[in-house]
């Protein structure tokens, strides 16, 4: 009996994975016409194109601590949710001969969990082709910090760490007999961009695939705004969804690339240097940094400050943290009293009233 083929795209994070997954999800028919099945999973009517959600929940060591399960309110329903996921994954593998699975969180499974996942696929008659995009250590560090701030996880830039992705790369190399590592920076120079490059790598004629662009990046001002809000109103607190936290959805207010300041870089440079040494050993010099650019100081004018107050004060009780950040970075053409005239949209005010009423009841 001929083996099934599973093309397994394991990330890494921040290598256009979301854009790739959305593009595949929106072009299922075109992929099917080329002999590739890109599954869509679901749970409680949620459509899942990022296969991380299902695979990580099924194979990680503590699914109740998985941030997606927490945000979706499934940390107390793991048995039900994983049973549904398992059934869908089994059905997908059993009923298709050439399958594309894509999930960046696969790369952060523990060595034992990753081995269990691999064994699951092999035991079901799958031949694996594993693909992994890699971003250079400094760019990966800045992007990872920004993502943790965006997700409400990181609450202080002084607590930020350099992600040791070299360990993930080594685990992936040890787990899979063959794995194709490719440079994200090189793929960005592809005529069809990183998504087109990855589709081509999967054996897909990308010319008939309409690419989706999922720009999840935040500018320098926006990133630093949300880490300030996270200090008091984190999205997740103590492994649980924080009922008084800021809204998980964020807005980008500027186009300045988020980079570390010279002072922030100084505290992380040795660790980034070490990652570059490991990347060179594991993958080669083309995957390493040659420079570490830094960010410049910034000032906020009243027009931007007004927009930020109206948009980032979600829920409205976080407004104080937003105003404190803005006043600290004012261009001196306005002050805090000017912000008093910035009125939040009516839905925000209604939610604020509900929040304060519920807080009052809890404290009685």
For residues 123 and 22, membership in a common domain is answered with: yes
Q: Is there a single domain that holds both residue 229 and residue 204?
A: no
Longest Cα pair distance anywhere in the chain, in angstroms? 75
Domain for residue 305, yes or no?
A: yes
How far, in Å, are 146, 231, 276, 362 from residue 359 at the CA level?
A: 31, 20, 49, 5
- Domain hosting 225: range is 220-257+299-363
- Assess whether 131 and 224 both reside in one domain: no
- 292 φ/ψ angles, rounded to the nearest 5 degrees: -125, 85
> Are residues 320 and 237 part of one domain?
yes
- Do 200 and 244 sit in the same domain of this protein? no
Number of domains the chain contains: 2
Taking the alpha carbons of 314, 320, 325, 330 in that order, is the dihedral positive or negative? positive
Q: What pLDDT tens digit does each residue of the chain (364 aa) get? A: 568 999 999 999 999 999 999 999 999 999 999 999 999 999 999 999 999 999 999 999 999 999 999 999 999 999 999 999 999 999 999 999 999 999 999 999 999 999 999 999 999 999 999 999 999 999 999 999 999 999 888 999 999 999 999 999 999 999 998 999 999 999 999 999 999 999 999 999 999 899 987 666 899 999 999 999 999 999 988 888 899 999 989 999 999 999 999 999 999 999 999 999 999 999 999 999 999 999 999 999 999 999 999 999 999 999 999 999 999 999 999 999 999 889 876 554 455 455 545 555 555 5
Mark whether 71 and 192 lie in a shared domain: yes
Three-state DSSP at 183 gives strand
With respect to residue 268, please indicate whether it lies within any of the assigned structural domains. Answer: no
Task: Specify the CATH number for the domain of residue 39.
Answer: 3.40.50
pTM of the entire structure?
0.86
Cα dihedral sign, 110-115-116-118: positive
């Amino acid at each position: 009996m001929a083996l099934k083929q599973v093309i397994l795209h394991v990330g890494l994070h921040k290598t256009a994975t979301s854009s790739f997954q959305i593009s595949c999800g929106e072009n299922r028919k075109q992929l099917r016409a080329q002999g590739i099945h890109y599954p869509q999973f679901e749970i409680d009517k949620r459509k899942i194109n990022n296969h991380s959600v299902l695979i990580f929940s099924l194979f990680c060591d503590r699914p109740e601590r998985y941030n997606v399960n927490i945000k979706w309110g499934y940390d107390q329903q793991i048995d039900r949710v994983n049973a549904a996921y398992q059934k869908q994954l089994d059905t997908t593998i059993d009923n298709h001969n050439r399958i594309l699975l894509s999930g960046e969180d696969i790369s952060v499974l523990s060595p034992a969990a990753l081995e269990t996942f691999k064994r699951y696929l092999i035991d079901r008659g799958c031949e694996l082709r594993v693909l992994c995009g890699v971003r250079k250590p400094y760019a990966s560090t800045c992007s990872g910090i920004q993502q943790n701030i965006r997700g409400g996880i990181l609450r202080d830039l002084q607590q930020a760490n350099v992600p040791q992705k070299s360990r993930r790369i080594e685990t992936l190399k040890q787990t899979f007999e063959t794995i194709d590592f490719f440079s994200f920076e090189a793929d960005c120079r592809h005529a069809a961009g990183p998504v087109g490059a990855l589709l081509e790598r999967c054996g897909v004629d990308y010319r008939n695939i309409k690419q989706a662009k999922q720009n999840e990046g935040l500018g320098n001002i926006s990133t630093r705004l949300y880490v300030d809000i996270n200090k008091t109103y984190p999205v997740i607190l103590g492994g649980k969804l924080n009922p008084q936290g800021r809204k998980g959805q964020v807005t980008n207010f500027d186009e300045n690339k988020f980079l570390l300041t010279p002072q922030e870089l100084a505290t992380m440079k040795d660790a980034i240097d070490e990652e570059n040494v490991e990347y060179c050993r594991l993958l080669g010099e083309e995957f390493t940094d040659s420079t570490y650019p830094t960010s410049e100081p910034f000032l906020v004018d009243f027009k931007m400050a007004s927009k930020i107050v109206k948009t980032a004060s979600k829920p409205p009780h976080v407004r104080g943290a937003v105003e404190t950040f803005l006043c600290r970075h004012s261009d001196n053409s306005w002050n805090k009293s000017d912000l008093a005239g910035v009125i939040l949209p009516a839905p925000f005010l209604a939610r604020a009233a509900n929040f304060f009423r519920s807080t009052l009841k809890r404290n009685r």
